[in-house]
Chain A
Amino acid sequence: MNIDELADMVRNLLAEYVVNVEIGKDLVHVEVKEENIIEAAKRMKEAGFDHVKDVTAIDYPKEGVIKIFYHLSSYSKKDLSRYIVGLGYSIPRDKNSVPSLYGVWTSADFQEREVYEGFGIVFEGHPDLRPLLLAPTVAELKPLRKDFIVKEEPIFKK
């Protein structure tokens, strides 16, 4: 299976949910509508994508959206295990509640907690949603959002 066949497979699989498909090197990014994410995730799991490698969020302050991406791959199917498929959706920046995919992939557990502490996005249905690496007082600042202002000061004070 090459990368174009994989893209076609994913396109056929998610059919009516697909908003946009991007093809990179060994990587296919599929964007779906936010309301369809759980159904799309279930279809992907049935097709053999059995684990989440990474959950990440990307902040686009000019467009006013945050894109949440689940990077999926497979251990059970050999031809799929070569590739990574990014399944994602975008939400408005002021919305901070999205459905959790813990019910579909258990391996999304810690990574959704990291997105929660960095961006302040609450994953509804996550069993244990609390900051993973950061202290709660730091997590409240939502430090990975673009509008978090990093303190600029010279190392050597005058």
Chain B
Amino acid sequence: MSKGNGDGKVYVGNVDVAAKKARKLLLGKLKLGKLVDWGTAFSLWPVHLTTSCCGCEFAAAWSPRYDNEQHGALPWVGSRQTNMILIEGTVTRKMACALRVVWEQMPQPKFAIAMGACALDGGIFYNSYNIVRPWEVVPVDIYIPGCPPRPEAVARAIIELQRKIRREGLASKFVEEGWRPDKEYVKPKEDLCAWWKG
């Protein structure tokens, strides 16, 4: 609410409502949402968080032979400048803390791809006492099967995620609503960083 400014006029209005209306106009009627989705789909920057051995394939996927940068994806060092996380294989109980911290540092809208059999349901470590399932830590969009997946499979997952973003309008829906309407907020059941007393 904006109050009077002294010369008798009183402006009444809600800034939040006005902003929401403007957003709906821009993203809905003027189809700017498609531009947002297009832009997001071709700037999926994965963060460097190598949790396991699938990191080798991740590295190969950006080598000159499989050049994934042609899809607009560029591995970047800082989690605060990225919007995608590629979970590379097994996530141990201690690494789950790092994964969650990195995930929470990344700006919205953000996407997660789980890579390898271990990230699906444990793989060969399915009954280990020291791993967590990545989908218990972060909301995963795309799963890549394989042990390890080929670099082509990584490229396929990125293209599939681009299609999903543009088909379902994930990025523009985020701008409109303020959250990802298609994904529930994943909250880890236990305190993942309880072991770390820094």
Contacts and interface: CB of A to CB of B under 8 A. Distances in A.
Interface residues of B, number: 11
A155 B130 contact: no
A9 interface: no
Contact of B129 (A136, A138, A153, A155): A138
B122 A134 contact: no
B130 A137 contact: no
- Which applies to chain B's interface (DSSP): helix, strand, loop or mixed? loop
B129 A143 contact: yes
B150 interface: no
A134 B127 contact: no
A151 interface: yes
Range, interface on chain A: 10 to 19
Contacts of A19: none
Given A134-B93, A135-B94, A150-B129, A155 B195 contact: no
Given A155-B121, A155-B122, A137 B194 contact: yes
Contacts of B143: none
A63 interface: no
Contacts of A5: none
B93 A135 contact: yes
A138 B93 CA distance: 9
Contacts of B38: none
Classify the interface of chain A: helix, strand, loop or mixed. loop
Nearest to A155: B126
A134 B194 contact: no
B123 to A, nearest CB: 8
Interface in A75-95: none
Interface in A137-158: 137-138, 141, 143, 148, 150-153, 155
Question: What 10 A-B pairs have minimum CB-CB distances, sorted nearest first?
Answer: A135-B195, A151-B127, A135-B93, A143-B129, A150-B127, A155-B126, A136-B195, A138-B130, A135-B94, A138-B129
30 contacts: A131-B195, A133-B94, A134-B93, A134-B94, A135-B93, A135-B94, A135-B130, A135-B194, A135-B195, A136-B194, A136-B195, A137-B93, A137-B194, A137-B195, A138-B93, A138-B129, A138-B130, A141-B129, A143-B129, A143-B130, A148-B129, A150-B127, A150-B128, A150-B129, A151-B127, A152-B127, A153-B127, A155-B121, A155-B122, A155-B126
Given A153-B127, A155-B126, 7 more contacts: A134-B94, A135-B130, A135-B194, A135-B195, A136-B194, A138-B93, A143-B130
